[in-house]
Amino acid sequence: MSEVPESASNVAEYTVSEISGALKRTVEDAFGHVRVRGEISGYRGPHSSGHAYLSLKDDKARIEAVIWRSAMSRLRFQPEEGMEVIATGKLTTYPGSSKYQIVIEQMEPAGAGALMALLDERKRRLGAEGLFDAAAKRALPFMPRIIGVVTSPTGAVIHDIIHRITDRFPLHVLVWPVRVQGETAGAEVANAINGFNRLDSDTLPRPDVLIVARGGGSLEDLWGFNDEAVVRAVAASRIPVISAVGHETDWTLIDLVADVRAPTPTGAAEMAVPVKADLQAHIAMMGARLAAGMSRYLNRRRETQRALSRALPSADQLLALPRRHFDETAARLTRALHANTQKKRGHFDGRARQLSPRLLQQRLREKRRETGILAVRLPRALDVFMRDARALYHRRTGRLSIESTGRRAERGRQHLQQLDRRVGQSIDLLLDRAKRRSFELERLMRTLSHASVLERGFAIVLDTSGAPIKRAMDVAGGDDLTLRFQDGDVQAVATNGSDRPLQAKSERPTQVKKPPAPSGSQGSLF
Q: With CA atoms as reference, report the closest residue to 16 among 92, 95, 94, 101.
A: 95
pLDDT mean over 57-76 = 85
Q: With CA atoms as reference, report the closest residue to 273 among 346, 194, 169.
A: 169
pLDDT mean over 207-221 = 87
Cross-strand pairs, 214: 245
Provide long-range contacts, Cβ within 8 A and 24+ apart, for 279-286: 279/169
Q: What is the pTM of this model?
A: 0.44
Cross-strand pairs, 176: 150
Residue with the bigger pLDDT between 73 and 151: it is 151
Question: Is the bond preceding residue 357 a cis peptide, omega within 30 degrees?
Answer: no
Could you give the percent of the chain with pLDDT greater than 70? 82
Q: Does residue 511 have a pLDDT over 60?
A: no
Q: What three-state secondary structure class fits 260?
A: strand
Band (524; pLDDT cuts 50, 70, 90): very low
pLDDT mean over 208-212 = 94
Q: Report d(CA 99, CA 364) in Å as an integer.
A: 159
Could you give the percent of the chain with pLDDT greater than 90? 20
Q: How many residues does the chain have?
A: 526
Q: With CA atoms as reference, report the closest residue to 225 among 265, 179, 259.
A: 179
Q: Does residue 3 have a pLDDT over 60?
A: no
pLDDT of residue 284: 93
Which run of H or E residues covers position 210? strand 209-214
Beta pairing, strands 84-94 & 33-44: antiparallel
Which run of H or E residues covers position 380? helix 357-397
Band (380; pLDDT cuts 50, 70, 90): confident
CB-based contact 79:43 (threshold 8 Å): yes
Band (405; pLDDT cuts 50, 70, 90): low
pLDDT mean over 69-92 = 82
Half-sphere exposure of 475 (CA within 13 A, CB side): 24
Band (45; pLDDT cuts 50, 70, 90): confident
Express each pLDDT in 6-31 by its tens digit: 555 677 787 888 788 887 888 777 77
pLDDT of residue 324: 85
Residue with the bigger pLDDT between 497 and 269: it is 269
Report which residue type is found at 64.
Answer: E
Among 11-15, 155-159, 257-261, 431-435, the range of highest mean pLDDT = 257-261
Q: With CA atoms as reference, report the closest residue to 246 among 212, 210, 209, 196.
A: 212
In this structure, how many other beta carbons lie within 10 angstroms of the beta carbon of residue 161?
25
Q: With CA atoms as reference, report the closest residue to 487 among 521, 460, 525.
A: 521
pLDDT mean over 396-418 = 64
Q: Report d(CA 236, CA 524) in Å as an integer.
A: 122
Express each pLDDT in 274-313 by its tens digit: 988 888 899 999 999 999 999 999 999 999 888 887 877 7
Say how far residue 18 (Cα) sits from the centre of its chain. 94
pLDDT mean over 113-124 = 77
Among 62-66, 109-113, 239-243, 330-334, the range of highest mean pLDDT = 239-243
pLDDT of residue 498: 52
Q: Report d(CA 210, CA 193) in Å as an integer.
A: 8
Residue 103 — φ and ψ, nearest 5°? -90, 110
Which run of H or E residues covers position 462? strand 460-462
Sign of the dihedral defined by the CA atoms of residues 389, 395, 399, 403, in that order: positive
CB-based contact 259:209 (threshold 8 Å): no
CA distances in angstroms from 321 to 314, 318, 331, listed in the order given: 13, 7, 15
Q: Is 331 buried (19+), middle (13-18) or exposed (0-12) by CB count in 10 A?
A: exposed
For all residues of the chain together, what is the average pLDDT?
79
Beta pairing, strands 33-44 & 52-57: antiparallel
Among 264-268, 344-348, 404-408, 418-422, the range of highest mean pLDDT = 264-268
The 8-class DSSP code of residue 56 comes to E
Q: With CA atoms as reference, report the closest residue to 269 among 169, 165, 197, 158.
A: 165
Cross-strand pairs, 150: 176, 212
Residue with the bigger pLDDT between 211 and 422: it is 211
Q: Does residue 398 have a pLDDT over 70?
A: no
pLDDT of residue 354: 61
Express each pLDDT in 334-362 by its tens digit: 888 888 888 877 877 776 666 566 666 77
CB-based contact 475:498 (threshold 8 Å): yes
pLDDT of residue 357: 66
pLDDT of residue 49: 82
Cross-strand pairs, 177: 151
H-type helices in 129-262, by residue range?
Answer: 156-168, 185-198, 228-236, 253-257
CB-based contact 382:390 (threshold 8 Å): no
Q: What three-state secondary structure class fits 60?
A: coil
Q: Report d(CA 379, CA 370) in Å as an integer.
A: 15
Which run of H or E residues covers position 299? helix 276-311
Residue with the bigger pLDDT between 435 and 328: it is 328
Q: Does residue 135 have a pLDDT over 70?
A: yes
Residue 460 — φ and ψ, nearest 5°? -110, 130
Q: What three-state secondary structure class fits 30?
A: helix
Q: What three-state secondary structure class fits 379?
A: helix
Q: Report d(CA 21, CA 1) in Å as an integer.
A: 40
pLDDT of residue 517: 42
Residue with the bigger pLDDT between 366 and 144: it is 144
pLDDT mean over 388-402 = 62
Report which residue type is found at 382.
Answer: L
Express each pLDDT in 163-181 by its tens digit: 999 999 999 999 999 998 8
In this structure, how many other beta carbons lie within 10 angstroms of the beta carbon of residue 163?
12
Residue with the bigger pLDDT between 147 and 314: it is 147
CB-based contact 366:358 (threshold 8 Å): no
pLDDT of residue 116: 75
pLDDT of residue 98: 74
pLDDT mean over 306-324 = 80
